[in-house]
Amino acid sequence: MSSGERPPSLVLLAVEANRRCTFVREACARLGWPLPEVVDWRAFLEDPMALERAIDRALSRAGSCFVRVDSPGEDWECERLLLRRGALEPELCDAIAPTFATVDEVDALRNERGRITLPRQWFRGFSAALRDVAKIAAERPSVAMTSAADEITILFDKRATHARLEARGVARTPLLGCPATSDELRALLRERDEPRVFVKLWHGSSASGVVALRWDDRGVSATTSAELVRSGDAIQLFNSLRVRRYTDERDARAVLDALLREGAVVESWLAKATYDGDNFDLRVVTIAGEARHAVVRVGRTPMTNLHLGNRRGELDRVVARLGPERWASVRSRCAEAAAAFSRCRTLGIDVLLSPDLRDVRVIEANAFGDLLPNVLDRGDDTYTAALRTLV
């Protein structure tokens, strides 16, 4: 930014109480920028004009502005409002037909911490909200979004993400299908001769509704952070910080059927490289298409998400094992994935390395995957580095 040039003006749509919002504010202060105009997700969902007013305030100061959309997660009232919005959207027509809640039923929901509640309906509401954001931004020619709303929507749909990556030729974990029931899933495993797979909700994140499944003629083993709770004939699933394993076929089928009713992808379970005897993979943040910050995620279970009690490995140690050429191939694979979503300034790419470190595949692409506290690249955290690319 040249001397005398005004710094960019930023409008942030986020959960104001969440640390993500705090990190963006701190990044603005670090760069000497004005603090962002923050619109809480709750306020926006109750009154979309709240975003319009914030944008207009930002424009009055700078003449142009950027709109950054951050995660609406970790806030029950926000989740309820998104479910409510989803209840007002037209019915979806596809092979999977879950039960959607009415507005009155949504309003009657209680805050049951961790419960996996109507993920298809949540996605329907989230998609509609993102369309509103895009429309508001498009009506003002001096406004740009740091990540395009339609691409964020795709990244919250694992089927659509697979299709986008496949169309771009990005090496990824293979998609085997989208069965609707545990019987269909069992038939798929037999047909494909795949005794072990990952089952993932179409619209899940942070390992919510992910099952590492082994199922053959000897029995079943479903490893997941989803806790099965029975109340009479009713089945409920709750996200837990404790990974558990279901080996009783009745329980495993109950978990799987509850997930498959909401829509789920089935992916090949590929072996991962190890770190001190445990599985590891990488979360790499791409900014403006370039692989930047990275974290080594080490776990004893198939899920390596750090919030599940797994640990960070030493990146320098992994890079040394890989050597310059293979580390460059990891960065290149992440850049390829980012290029498939070129209108998203920031992405979190999860990358799998084969046991011999030769094969590099994308596991996930995350629209809000830049939450890597205390991880620096060129002296900047992810938020500061992303803001720098706006000028």
- The 10s digit of each residue's pLDDT in 185-219 is 999 999 999 999 999 999 988 889 899 999 999 99
Beta strand segments in 333-373, E: 346-353, 360-366
Extents of the domains making up the chain = 1-145, 157-172+272-388, 175-268
pLDDT score of 47 more than 80 = yes
Pick the CATH number of 157-172+272-388 from 3.90.1170.50, 3.30.30.60, 3.30.470.20, 3.40.50.10880: 3.30.470.20
Name the DSSP letter for residue 306: G
Q: What is the CA radius of gyration of the chain?
A: 21
Do 37 and 25 form a contact (C-beta atoms < 8 A)? no
- The 10s digit of each residue's pLDDT in 274-314 is 999 999 999 999 999 999 999 999 999 999 999 888 999 99
Q: H or E segment at 10?
A: strand 10-14
Cα–Cα distance, 104 to 106 (Å, whole number): 5
Do 122 and 203 form a contact (C-beta atoms < 8 A)? yes
123 vs 231, higher pLDDT = 123
Quote the pTM value: 0.94
**CB half-sphere exposure, 139, CA atoms < 13 A:** 11
Q: Which residue has the tokens 């995957």?
A: 369
Query: 241: which 2 tokens?
Result: 């910080």
- The 10s digit of each residue's pLDDT in 322-355 is 999 999 999 999 999 999 999 999 999 999 999 9
Per-residue confidence (pLDDT) for residue 96, from 0 to 100: 54
pLDDT score of 93 more than 90 = no
